[in-house]
Amino acid sequence: MTSPHCSLMPLSLVTPTRILGGLEGRGCCPDPLPTLCPPPDDSGHPLFRAAAARGVCKVMCFHPHSDLTLPLMSLLEIRAVIDAWAELEAELGASYPWVQIFENKGAMMGCSNPHPHCQVWASSFLPNEARLEERTQRQHHSQHGVPMLLEYAEQEAQRKERLVVENEDWLVVVPYWATWPFQTLLLPRRHVLRLRDLCDSERDSLASIMRRLLIKYDNLFQVSFPYSMGWHGAPTGPHLREDCGHWQLHAHYYPPLLRSATVRKFMVGYEMLAQAQRDLTPEQAAERLRALPEVHYKLRPQEPVCGAAQVLLVEPGAVLNKPTSKVPLTVPCWLLAH
């Protein structure tokens, strides 16, 4: 379905300037409200230094239907999204040091447009998170001679206590250092620097494991699960000529929900001023996600609604006796956990 109020739907006022993957509705257009803009004038004082932040901001639509999210798309459609990501990374990465692909899903994550889409920001500098990952991965590689996240993936594959889903090329874990309740990390099994470096079979298996993870997310509270996610890979632009062997491609998923479709985690108080605290351990979160079915709740046979009135059909003139026992109440298993 499409909505006449959705600015990202096909043939809308914001028309994609280019169609990616050869599928109608999967397009990329300039962000009408770009974040990367010229800074204010530098005052000259060391406490108020400013520098130009040049870049490009784009919006990429996943599908022509406004109500179809990634877990409900086919593997072929998700593969087309992955190919478009890799193409944009290569195109923008030819000029810019950092290409950030990210998706904000759901109003809870500040997404103001319901159409399935992501954003791609290419910047003339390495952002803070990228600089931190550059430093830590380089230090680990220098000390141990192996990419940090490659070694981490091997360890998690062996331990399995934080493993959510896996296949021959990828694994998803609730990371050991997770702070959001159902935060996950998507990792390749082999050493890969960037999305463009993935072979065809790895892109196919990536589409599969992404859909499996996102179906589990939606099934957790039977809601279109909100999150912010994004890809991190080796820097681009001038860094393409450097040795980036310490880097490992990966994707972060940061969902805010904690106990239900409406109860979310807040980073406030001590967590804002001192240090993040966990409501679930990574092992508990992984176990709950791992146990969920991999068939989307919208595609499964309809289950009885908890608390719904029961209707009893009887023949005319029949006498109804008072029931001798109570009807058992069916409660979703996630309620029993709390």
pLDDT digits (tens, 9 = 90+) for 196-229: 999 999 999 999 999 999 999 999 999 999 999 9
Q: What is the 3-state secondary structure (H, E, C) of the chain?
A: CCCCCCCCCCCCCCCCCEECCCCCCCEEEECCCCCCCCCCCCCCCHHHCCCCCCEEEEEEECCCCCCCCHHHCCHHHHHHHHHHHHHHHHHHHCCCCEEEEEEEECHHHCCCCCCCEEEEEEECCCCHHHHHHHHHHHHHHHHHCCCHHHHHHHHHHHHCCCEEEECCCEEEECCCCCCCCCCEEEEECCCCCCHHHCCHHHHHHHHHHHHHHHHHHHHHHCCCCCEEEEEECCCCHHHHHCCCCCCCCEEEEECCECCCCCCECCCCCHHHHCCCCCCCCHHHHHHHHHCCCCCCHHHCCCCCCCCCCCCCCCCCCCCCCCCCCCCCCCCCHHHHCC
Residue 171: its pLDDT value, please?
Answer: 98
pLDDT of residue 279 exceeding 70: yes
**Residue range 308-328, pLDDT digits in tens:** 444 444 444 444 444 433 333
Section 248-258 average pLDDT: 96
Section 263-292 average pLDDT: 94
Residue 42: its pLDDT value, please?
Answer: 62
Mean pLDDT of the chain: 84
Section 133-161 average pLDDT: 98
Question: 144 an active-site residue?
Answer: no
pLDDT of residue 296 exceeding 80: yes
CA dist., res. 90 & res. 111, Å (int): 26
Residue 229: its pLDDT value, please?
Answer: 97
**AA identity, residue 261:** A
Residue 66: its pLDDT value, please?
Answer: 83
**Residue range 75-123, pLDDT digits in tens:** 999 999 999 999 999 999 999 999 999 999 988 888 877 788 999 999 9
pLDDT of residue 291 exceeding 80: yes
Q: Which residues contact 70 (CB under 8 A, 6 or more apart)?
A: 62, 78, 81, 116, 210, 211, 214
Residue 204: its pLDDT value, please?
Answer: 98
User: Which of these ranges, 30-44, 116-130, 160-174, has the smallest mean pLDDT?
Assistant: 30-44
Among the listed residues 115, 117, 141, 246, the single catalytic one is 117
Section 132-142 average pLDDT: 98
pTM (predicted TM-score): 0.80
Residue 338: its pLDDT value, please?
Answer: 36
Residue 216: its pLDDT value, please?
Answer: 98
Residue 33: its pLDDT value, please?
Answer: 59
Residue 100: its pLDDT value, please?
Answer: 98
Q: In this prediction, what percent of the chain has a pLDDT beyond 70?
A: 77
pLDDT of residue 267 exceeding 50: yes
pLDDT of residue 125 exceeding 70: yes
Residue 29: its pLDDT value, please?
Answer: 59
Residue 87: its pLDDT value, please?
Answer: 97
pLDDT of residue 57 exceeding 50: yes
Other C-beta atoms lying within 10 Å of the C-beta of residue 188:
21
User: Which of these ranges, 15-19, 59-63, 118-122, has the smallest mean pLDDT?
Assistant: 15-19
Residue 38: its pLDDT value, please?
Answer: 54
* Radius of gyration of the chain, Cα coordinates, nearest whole angstrom: 23
Block residue for tokens 């994550």 = 109
pLDDT of residue 335 exceeding 50: no
Q: For residue 133, which phi and psi values (nearest 5 degrees)?
A: -65, -35
